[in-house]
Structure 1
Amino acid sequence: MSQPNTFDIVILGAGSGGYAAALRAAELGLTVALIDKAELGGTCLHRGCIPTKALLHAAELADQTRESEQFGVKADLVGIDMAGVNSYKDGVVGRLYKGLQGLLKQDKITIVQGAGKLVAQDTVEVDGQRYTGRNVILATGSYSRSLPGLEVDGKRVLTSEHALKLDRVPSSAIVLGGGVIGVEFASVWKSFGADVTILEALPRLVAAEDADISKQVERAFRKRKINFKVGKPFEKVEHTENGVRATIQGGETVEAEILLVAVGRGPTTQDLGYEQQGVRLDRGFVLTNERLHTGVGNIYAVGDIVPGLQLAHRGFAQGIFVAEEIAGLNPAVIDEAGIPRVTYSDPEVASVGLTEEKAKEKYGADKVTTYNYNLGGNGKSQILKTQGFVKLIRTVDGPVVGVHMVGARMGELVSEAQLIYNWEAFPEEVAQLVHAHPTQSEALGEAHLALAGKPLHAHS
Structure 2
Amino acid sequence: MSEPNEATFDIVILGGGSGGYAAALRAAQLDLSVALIEKGKLGGTCLHNGCIPTKALLHAAEIADQTRESEQFGVKAELHGIDMTAVNSYKDGVVARLYKGLQGLVGGAKNITFVAGAGKLVGKNVVEVDGKRYTGRNIILASGSYAKSLPGLEVDGERIITSDHALTLDRVPASAIVLGGGVIGVEFASVWKSFGVDVTIVEALPRLVAAEDEESSKALERAFRKRKINFKVGKPFEKVEKTDNGVKVTISGGETVEAELLLVAVGRGPNTAGLGYEEQGVKLDRGYVLTDERLRTGVPNVYAVGDIVPGLQLAHRGFQQGIFVAEEIAGQNPAVIDEAGIPRVTYSDPELASVGLTEAKAKEQYGADKIKTYNYNLGGNGKSQILKTTGFVKLVRVEDGPVVGVHMVGARVGEQVGEAQLIYNWEAYPAEVAQLVHAHPTQNEALGEAHLALAGKPLHAHA
Question: 1:320 & 1:2 partners in 2: Cα distance?
Answer: 29
2:38 aligns with: 36
- Structure 1 position 385 matched with structure 2 position 409: no
SS of residue in 1 equivalent to 2:223: helix
SS of residue in 2 equivalent to 1:5: strand
1:149 Cα deviation from its structure 2 partner: 0.2
- Structure 1 position 160 matched with structure 2 position 163: yes
Q: Deviations over 1:78-100 (max 9, x none)?
A: 01000000000000000000000
Aligned amino acid, residue 106 of structure 2: L
Q: Deviations over 1:113-152 (max 9, x none)?
A: 1110000000000111100000000000000010000000
1:210 Cα deviation from its structure 2 partner: 0.2
1:322 aligns with: 325
Question: 1:26 & 1:121 partners in 2: Cα distance?
Answer: 22
1:243 aligns with: 246
Question: 1:267 & 1:409 partners in 2: Cα distance?
Answer: 30
2:228 to 225, 228, 245: 225
2:455 aligns with: 452
Aligned amino acid, residue 84 of structure 1: A
SS of residue in 2 equivalent to 1:250: helix
2:423 aligns with: 420
Q: Deviations over 1:43-101 (max 9, x none)?
A: 00000000000000000000000000000000000010000000000000000000000
SS of residue in 1 equivalent to 2:437: coil
Count of matched residue pairs:
460
Question: 2:109 & 2:330 partners in 1: Cα distance?
Answer: 16
- Describe how 1:295-306 pairs up with structure 2 within 5 A: 295-306=298-309
- Structure 1 position 366 matched with structure 2 position 359: no
2:27 aligns with: 25
SS of residue in 2 equivalent to 1:255: strand
1:266 to 258, 266, 269: 269
1:340 to 335, 340, 343: 343
1:15 aligns with: 17
SS of residue in 1 equivalent to 2:460: coil
Aligned amino acid, residue 174 of structure 1: I
SS of residue in 1 equivalent to 2:90: helix
Q: Deviations over 1:156-185 (max 9, x none)?
A: 000000000000011000000000000000
2:218 aligns with: 215
Aligned amino acid, residue 445 of structure 1: G
1:52 aligns with: 54
1:201 Cα deviation from its structure 2 partner: 0.3
Aligned amino acid, residue 29 of structure 1: D
- Describe how 1:199-210 pairs up with structure 2 within 5 A: 199-210=202-213
1:67 to 66, 69, 73: 69
Aligned amino acid, residue 83 of structure 2: D
2:282 aligns with: 279
1:107 aligns with: 109
1:288 aligns with: 291
Q: Deviations over 1:213-250 (max 9, x none)?
A: 00000000000000000001010010000000001000
1:79 aligns with: 81
Q: Deviations over 1:331-352 (max 9, x none)?
A: 0000000000000000000000
Question: 2:2 & 2:430 partners in 1: Cα distance?
Answer: 55
Aligned amino acid, residue 356 of structure 2: G
- Structure 1 position 375 matched with structure 2 position 378: yes
1:369 Cα deviation from its structure 2 partner: 0.2
SS of residue in 1 equivalent to 2:254: coil
SS of residue in 1 equivalent to 2:224: helix
1:297 Cα deviation from its structure 2 partner: 2.0
Question: 2:238 & 2:409 partners in 1: Cα distance?
Answer: 32
Question: 1:428 & 1:170 partners in 2: Cα distance?
Answer: 51
Aligned amino acid, residue 125 of structure 2: D
Aligned amino acid, residue 231 of structure 1: G
Question: 2:27 & 2:173 partners in 1: Cα distance?
Answer: 45
- Structure 1 position 351 matched with structure 2 position 371: no
Question: 1:53 & 1:398 partners in 2: Cα distance?
Answer: 37
1:2 Cα deviation from its structure 2 partner: 6.2
Question: 1:161 & 1:51 partners in 2: Cα distance?
Answer: 10
1:131 aligns with: 134
1:194 Cα deviation from its structure 2 partner: 0.3
Question: 2:49 & 2:397 partners in 1: Cα distance?
Answer: 37
Question: 1:29 & 1:2 partners in 2: Cα distance?
Answer: 20
1:120 aligns with: 123
Q: TM-score, normalised by structure 2?
A: 0.99
Question: 1:237 & 1:390 partners in 2: Cα distance?
Answer: 39
1:437 to 419, 437, 440: 440
Question: 1:391 & 1:135 partners in 2: Cα distance?
Answer: 43
Question: 2:372 & 2:296 partners in 1: Cα distance?
Answer: 37
Question: 1:238 & 1:390 partners in 2: Cα distance?
Answer: 43
Question: 1:11 & 1:192 partners in 2: Cα distance?
Answer: 40
Aligned amino acid, residue 299 of structure 1: V
Q: Deviations over 1:168-215 (max 9, x none)?
A: 011000000000000000000000000000000000001000000000
